[in-house]
Amino acid sequence: MTTFHLPDLRGMFIRGVDYTAGNDPNKITRNFQHTGGNSGNNIGSLQEDAFQGHKHQLFDGESSNTYAKETVDFVQGSGIGAIRWCSAQDHNCITAPTTDSANGTPRTTSETRPKNVYVNYIIKY
């Protein structure tokens, strides 16, 4: 006998199961919400919130200067003093997001999304 746990949707966004639509680029890596529950591209699977990986670039207006293009690494919640300047030729200055010691490890992926649970929408007419 198979047991199906109702998804706990408190504080969650609901998201229709992707199946083959191609709207959820991380559908295969979804987790189960309850031990023994569905994971992957299935009803009831859970997906943590995430911020799409990205970087910022600033230009100082001097197009002839090889250092005119600067990459900025922002540290969340630390203000202007947290901007880290790197030259366009410095390939080691951009690092993966790290914890701010208060809010846990940042999750980055190929899309920006809220924490969500897969559901099947049933429309009765």
On whether residue 10 sits in a domain, the answer given is: no
Instruction: Give bridge partners of residue 59 from the DSSP assignment.
Output: 69
Question: What is the pTM assigned to this prediction?
Answer: 0.60
Number of domains comprising the chain:
2
On whether residue 116 sits in a domain, the answer given is: yes
Statement to judge: residues 65 and 45 lie in one domain: no
For residue 117, pLDDT beyond 60: yes
On whether residue 42 sits in a domain, the answer given is: yes
For residue 68, pLDDT beyond 50: no
H or E stretch covering 84:
strand 84-87
Domain range for 114 is 31-50+107-125
* Per-residue pLDDT reduced to its tens digit, 25-58: 999 999 998 888 899 999 999 999 988 776 655 5
Statement to judge: residues 83 and 66 lie in one domain: yes
On whether residue 60 sits in a domain, the answer given is: yes
Q: Which pLDDT does position 51 carry in this prediction?
A: 84
